[in-house]
Amino acid sequence: MEHTNDAHKVKPFTDDEYAQYQKAFSVPHRRPIRVGPKGYVLRADWPTHSEDVRTMPLRPDDIFVVSFPRSGTTWTQELVWLIENDMNFEKAKSIPLTDRYPFLEDFIYASATRMAARNDPAKLKMLEEILKPAPERLAATPSPRFIKSHLPLSLLPEGTLDTARVVYVARDPRDVAVSFYHFLKSFPHNGLTASFKEYYDLFINDLEMWSPIFEHVKEAWQQRHHPNMLFLFYEELSKDLGAVARRVADFLGKQYTDEQYASLLDHLKFDNFQKNTAVDITDLKKFGLLDSKGQNFIRKGKTGAWRDNFDEEMIQRTEQWMADNMRDTDLLFPQN
């Protein structure tokens, strides 16, 4: 997979885009940028670190878990890690998932997190270590390295798909929008005051971070037959996790007994997974970044939840939006 200069060209939001974006928040946000010919939305400080990401040295045993946010990333990370690590449940429970999977573009949150902890020197000092750029952290990480990213394939390190293995998980965009909204509401410093319907205008108009979602998913879908790519749907995990676990094991060259798979499925059962503190971002509650009384990072895990949140006008608008974006692809999201 090759990167071109065009893939990294940057332009800021227009005045109209920024006004529409900022309208959803009660606090000022820096003007986001669009990156590459698809116009992926990222935070303004992306160009400061993009070259470090693009040129990050890769290893043949690196494993990336990639997705658009709120698409089942955390569930997939735990599944992949356990299968690659011989079902070591005790280790998985003792080491936070965020330590096992450095977040490749975590620096885009650095300014927001430092701002939230600015009045607490002890928290700020801890944050400085946590927020060390992922390429720097990964350079000192022993193999095999596990890497999380919400970047589209075209913005991952150069040569990722030809060197490392990538597990990509996609989810129905309507459910992603609902989950993303509730996720953002749980971060008080974001100042999101928009109703879901108002927020959905941002999402459907590709003004949310990492948008456009369809281009993000289609990039991965086009590479689904690459030997180093495993493309999954969240809806598949939800419907038949056992079958997906076996696909992941085949992809990673692992074999397990029925008893081991049974233990894995129990560990990953949604009720158990939601209570697993090793996969929740509890550190963010300590730093005051996540509402301590609010939802867990692992929310409901429900497919088809969009139906409880959309009115008739939104449904009709969304049908047209999806039809327009699916016209040039054979990609189909599973029915739920």
Give every CB contact of residue 313 below 8 A, 6+ residues apart in sequence. none
199 part of a folded domain: yes
pLDDT of residue 280: 59
Which tokens sit at 169? 């998980």
298 part of a folded domain: yes
332 part of a folded domain: no
Q: Which residue is associated with the tokens 């606090």? A: 27
Rounded to whole angstroms, the Cα distance separating 25 from 193 reads 5
User: What DSSP string describes 163-203?
Assistant: HSEEEEEE--HHHHHHHHHHHHHT-GGG-B---HHHHHHHH
pLDDT of residue 3: 44
Q: Produce one character per residue of 211-228: b if its CB has 16 or more CB atoms within 10 Å, e if not.
A: bbbbbbbbbbbebeebeb
Q: Which of 93-97, 118-122, 277-281, 290-294 has the lowest mean pLDDT?
A: 290-294
333 part of a folded domain: no
pLDDT of residue 164: 98
Q: Which domain holds residue 228?
A: 5-326
Rounded to whole angstroms, the Cα distance separating 264 from 209 reads 33
336 part of a folded domain: no
CATH number where 322 lies:
3.40.50.300
Q: What is the mean pLDDT of residues 269-295?
A: 59
Determine whether 206 is exposed, middle or buried from the number of CB atoms within 10 Å of its CB (0-12, 13-18, 19+): buried
Rounded to whole angstroms, the Cα distance separating 310 from 157 reads 37
pLDDT of residue 2: 41
**Residues written for the chain:** 336
Q: What is the mean pLDDT of residues 225-229?
A: 98
139 part of a folded domain: yes
Q: How confident is the model at residue 51 (pLDDT cuts 50, 70, 90)?
A: very high
Q: Which of 44-48, 73-77, 160-164, 297-301 has the lowest mean pLDDT?
A: 297-301
109 part of a folded domain: yes
- Reply yes or no on whether the pLDDT at 13 is more than 90: yes
Cβ 209 vs Cβ 69: under 8 Å: yes
The number of CA neighbours under 13 Å toward the Cβ of 299 is 20
pLDDT of residue 1: 43
Q: What is the mean pLDDT of residues 145-157?
A: 97
Q: How many domains does the chain have?
A: 1
**pTM for this predicted structure:** 0.89
Give every CB contact of residue 215 below 8 A, 6+ residues apart in sequence. 38, 40, 152
pLDDT of residue 72: 93
74 part of a folded domain: yes
